Amino acid sequence: MDTCRIPANTSKCSGNTMECFMVLSTQAQKISIGILCGLFGTMCVFENSLVLYLIFSSPGIRKKPSYLFIGSLALADILASITFVCSFVNFHVFNEAGFSKEVFLLQLGGVNTSFSASLSSLLLTALDRYISISRPSEYKLLMTRKRAWTALAVLWVTCATIACLPLLGWNCCVLDSTCSELFPFVDDNYLSGWICFVVVLLGCIVYAYTHVLWRARQHVAYMEKHQAQAGKQNTRMRMDVMLAKTLAMVLAVLMLCWSPVLVLMIYSIFSRLSDRLRKVFAFCSTLCLLNSMVNPIIYALRSKELFSSLRRVFSHFRRQLKVTEESPEAESTHKSSVIET
């Protein structure tokens, strides 16, 4: 295994650098992390898979760029849940450290790619709403399906490239630099750069949402004054307001779930972390899964189109069950069982 410069407060873990980062010391802590990851991860995969199905099974929904971005967000959350739960539980709960530096950095790159793509998809969704409300008359010309798919391709390639930099050589083993106290083999300078990338994304999202919500309030005031006018325009504005409020809720949840993790990452760059804070960081990391789990719930509650599609799916499922129960084969089976009796 590669020899890296271990942070001073973890030097007691001599002989295996990976063991220095296994901060869960009791069985209760490991069980708690395992339960949280299992619960959040399972719910996240199920809910986001349902969102993807609702989007791409409805021709009217999947043609809209807004829902292409939401679909990208759901896909990123699914991948983040799978990669995060598998690698995190394997490392912290089962204390598996038999893999190489390359394998670990590949796993970390997968987690970073997924979470970065999730955040970037939210940014594209915010920009989509920004254009829709700022320039409604030109929206269909500016935001086409081709441009939406191109933006998503650039998004995923950029996130994957940034996340794989440690695997490509920007790590503390190759550079013989100071390693992060939170992640094995990760260079402190790379961690600083990744944090700056996330902060810039969050800043752009906050700016876009601030403008969207400001315009949404103007639309609400306009609708109150012109209730008796043409319903189509009011309906479109009402949909914009609803989606803007939905995405604002998504952003609020995102900030609540990611703030503790980012604060501890920033703190680790400028100061040494105690073992207690490193354990806190491990538990706070599961909040990222909670964010991915809550997003689809917000869509189902706030998006009328997705909610209507969900109702149609359930209605179709109930009809199928009813047809199966009332089929001739089922009736014949029932009669034969009665005769035998």
Contact between 49 and 212 (Cβ < 8 Å): no
In a domain, 333, yes or no: no
In a domain, 121, yes or no: yes
The pLDDT of residue 329: 52
Could you identify the residue written with the tokens 């969050």? 202
pLDDT tens digits along 214-253: 777 776 666 666 665 545 555 555 556 666 677 677 778 8
Measured in degrees and rounded to the nearest 5, phi and psi for residue 187 equal -75, 140
In a domain, 132, yes or no: yes
* Structural domain total, the chain: 1
- Using alpha carbons only, how large is the chain's radius of gyration in Å? 24
In a domain, 227, yes or no: yes
In a domain, 336, yes or no: no
CA atoms within 13 A on the CB side of 91: 24
Structural domain including 212 reads: 25-309
In a domain, 13, yes or no: no
- % of the chain with per-residue pLDDT over 70: 80
What residues contact residue 314 under an 8 Å CB cut-off, 6+ apart? Answer: none
In a domain, 61, yes or no: yes
In a domain, 327, yes or no: no
Quickly list H helices, the chain: 27-56, 59-62, 65-92, 101-134, 139-142, 145-163, 165-168, 172-175, 188-225, 231-270, 275-302, 304-325, 328-340
- The enclosing domain of 58 has a CATH number of 1.20.1070.10
Q: Is the pTM above the cut of 0.85?
A: no
Q: Is the pLDDT of residue 332 over 70?
A: no
